[in-house]
A = this chain, B = another copy of it.
C-alpha cells in the first residue's frame, strides 16, 4: 500500500540519530531548522504518490505484495518503468526544488537486486533471497530509502590498504548473527531522514574482500554518527527566524551528510554481499546505469524552476521581449531539454542486468552522456539566468527589512519593477533565483554523481570503436561505381 506523509512523519518521531550540524547536536528532526527541510522533502514524495494526478509517475504495482507502492521502491521491470522513473525525478525537483535522496535509494535497491541476482545465477542464491525478503518488507511499509555508496577514500593515489584502512567502509568482524562495519560513507543526501540506508560497494579487487559489503542499515542504528554538510545557505537557514525569507523556504538545498560507522552491527538477514569482490564489477556497472541516469532529469527539473524565475524577473524588469533576453531564455530551455532528451534515450535503450533477470537499467552511454550534458548545461543556465535577472540577483537586501514599515516603504519604492508586479513578489523571486544561481547549486550539479572524468571514460569504453572504423574504411577504401545502369 502506498505510504502517506502522515505515517512517514509518525516513523520520523522514532528516529533518534546522533547527528551534528554547524557544531551543534541535532535534537528533534521535525524542528531542527536544518533537518526539517529533509523531512518535508521526503514527506512530499509520499504526498505526490497519493495524488491521483501523479499515480502513473509516482507509483507502480509491487510484484511482491500485489499492491501499488512508491516507484522509488520499485524494481524497474520494463523500459517504460525506466522512462516513468525519469519523469518522477524531474517532477520531484520541479515540485521541491531540491533532492529527495530517495532516487538514490531506488538506485540502491535496483543495484543490489541485480548484483544478488548475478550471484544467484552462479549458485549463490542466498543473498538474493534475503534481499527480496527485505524488499518485500520495504514494500509492505512503503518505507523510504537512500543510498550509501561513496567512502571518503582519503588519498586517491593510494589503495584502501595503503592508508588508514577505515577510509573505505569495511567489515571488521563476522559474527554468527551478523557483521560489524567500520568506516564512513560520504555525500549521503537525506540519510538522516529516511527509514533505511542501502549500502553497496564500489569496485574492489582480490585481497580487498573486507570492503565488498552490501547491506541495509536502519536510521539511527547504534554506532552511527551523522555529520551534516554546512554551506552558507545551511548556516543562513540555521540562523533564520523566519524561513519564508529563505530561497526555497520549505525544502531548502540538497542536504548531504557524512555518516560514520563506529562498529555498527548488521544482522545476516540484512547482508546482501560480504566479501565477493568479483561481483563488485556488476554492482558498479548497475549503479552507474541507474544512479547516473537520475542525474540528468534532476538537473532539468532545477532548470525548469530557474527558467520560470527568469521569465518572472524578465517581466518585472520590463525586458521580456528584448532579443538578447529571449536568447538567454532559449539557452536555458536548450540546456534543460538536451539533458532530458539524452536521459529519455538512456531509458529507451535500457536492458536488464543480468540478462534475463527482468531488472531493467538504463543504457550506460546515454546515462553518462545525459549527466555530462547536464554539467555543462547547468553552467549555461546559470549564466543566462544571471543575465536575465541583473544585479539585484546578488545585491538585494534581506526581505526581513520589509517587516518594518518605514524601511519597507523605502525598499518597496526603490526596488519596484514593472508596475503591475508587486515589489515584494519581485524581491521574493530574486531571492528564489539567487538560491539556485548564486549558490552552491552549480558546483553540486557538476560534482554530484561522480567525477566527470570517469563518466567520459565510461562513454568511451561503451562505444564500439571498431564499428566506426569500419564505416570510415568502407567509404575511404571502397571505390567501385555501383554499375553503369
Please tell me which stretch of A67-75, A108-116, A210-218, A315-323 contacts chain B, meaning at least 4 of its Cβ atoms lie within 8 angstroms of it: A315-323
Q: Name the B residues within 8 Å of A257 (CB-CB).
A: 395, 397
Of the candidates B236, B344, B396, B485, the one whose C-beta lies within 8 Å of that of A12 is B485
- Taking a contact as CB atoms under 8 Å apart, the answer to whether B341 and A366 are in contact is yes
A382 within 8 A of B: yes
CA distance A329 to B469 in the complex (A): 12
Which residue of B has the minimal Cβ distance to A339? B338
CA distance A96 to B465 in the complex (A): 19
Task: Bits for A371-384, please: 1 = Cβ < 8 Å to B, else 0.
Answer: 01101100100110
- Taking a contact as CB atoms under 8 Å apart, the answer to whether B338 and A338 are in contact is yes
CB distance from A370 to the nearest CB of B (A): 8
A166 within 8 A of B: yes
Q: Name the B residues within 8 Å of A484 (CB-CB).
A: 9, 30
CA distance A43 to B484 in the complex (A): 11
Q: Name the B residues within 8 Å of A467 (CB-CB).
A: 308
Q: How many copies does the complex hold?
A: 4
Residues 456-483 of A contacting B (Cβ, < 8 Å) = 456-457, 459-460, 463, 465, 467-483
Please tell me which stretch of A56-64, A126-134, A222-230, A279-287 contacts chain B, meaning at least 4 of its Cβ atoms lie within 8 angstroms of it: A222-230
Of the candidates B36, B373, B394, the one whose C-beta lies within 8 Å of that of A231 is B394
Q: Name the B residues within 8 Å of A78 (CB-CB).
A: none
Q: Name the B residues within 8 Å of A307 (CB-CB).
A: 465, 468, 472
CA distance A251 to B451 in the complex (A): 32
Name 9 interchain pairs, CB-CB below 8 A, sorted by A: A21-B398, A155-B417, A229-B397, A304-B468, A309-B476, A330-B460, A334-B459, A375-B383, A429-B472
- Taking a contact as CB atoms under 8 Å apart, the answer to whether B475 and A432 are in contact is yes
Give the interface size class of chain A. Answer: 35 or more
Task: Bits for A129-162, please: 1 = Cβ < 8 Å to B, else 0.
Answer: 0000000000000000000001010111110000
Of the candidates B47, B227, B434, the one whose C-beta lies within 8 Å of that of A482 is B47
CA distance A400 to B485 in the complex (A): 28
Q: Name the B residues within 8 Å of A403 (CB-CB).
A: 23
Q: Which 4 A-B pairs have the closest CB atoms?
A: A9-B485, A23-B400, A308-B472, A239-B239
Q: Name the B residues within 8 Å of A256 (CB-CB).
A: 394-395
Q: Name the B residues within 8 Å of A463 (CB-CB).
A: 333
- Taking a contact as CB atoms under 8 Å apart, the answer to whether B20 and A95 are in contact is no
Given contacts A243-B479, A440-B438, contact A330 B382 (CB under 8 A): no
Of the candidates B304, B394, B442, the one whose C-beta lies within 8 Å of that of A447 is B394
Please tell me which stretch of A173-181, A196-204, A270-278, A406-414 contacts chain B, meaning at least 4 of its Cβ atoms lie within 8 angstroms of it: A406-414
- Taking a contact as CB atoms under 8 Å apart, the answer to whether A333 and B240 are in contact is no
Of the candidates B304, B390, B417, B439, the one whose C-beta lies within 8 Å of that of A232 is B439
- Taking a contact as CB atoms under 8 Å apart, the answer to whether B228 and A232 are in contact is no
Q: Name the B residues within 8 Å of A366 (CB-CB).
A: 337, 341
A233 within 8 A of B: yes
Task: Bits for A409-423, please: 1 = Cβ < 8 Å to B, else 0.
Answer: 011011111110000
- Taking a contact as CB atoms under 8 Å apart, the answer to whether B23 and A401 are in contact is yes
Q: Name the B residues within 8 Å of A411 (CB-CB).
A: 227, 258
Residues 32-56 of A contacting B (Cβ, < 8 Å) = 36, 39-40, 43-44, 47
- Taking a contact as CB atoms under 8 Å apart, the answer to whether A394 and B229 are in contact is yes
- Taking a contact as CB atoms under 8 Å apart, the answer to whether B476 and A429 are in contact is yes
Which residue of B has the minimal Cβ distance to A301? B471
CB distance from A148 to the nearest CB of B (A): 13
Q: Name the B residues within 8 Å of A341 (CB-CB).
A: 341-342, 344-345, 366, 369-370
A10 within 8 A of B: yes
A117 within 8 A of B: no
Residues 234-287 of A contacting B (Cβ, < 8 Å) = 235-236, 238-240, 243-244, 247-251, 256-258, 260, 262
Given contacts A258-B397, A342-B341, A344-B344, contact A232 B229 (CB under 8 A): no
Task: Bits for A173-193, please: 1 = Cβ < 8 Å to B, else 0.
Answer: 000000000011011000000
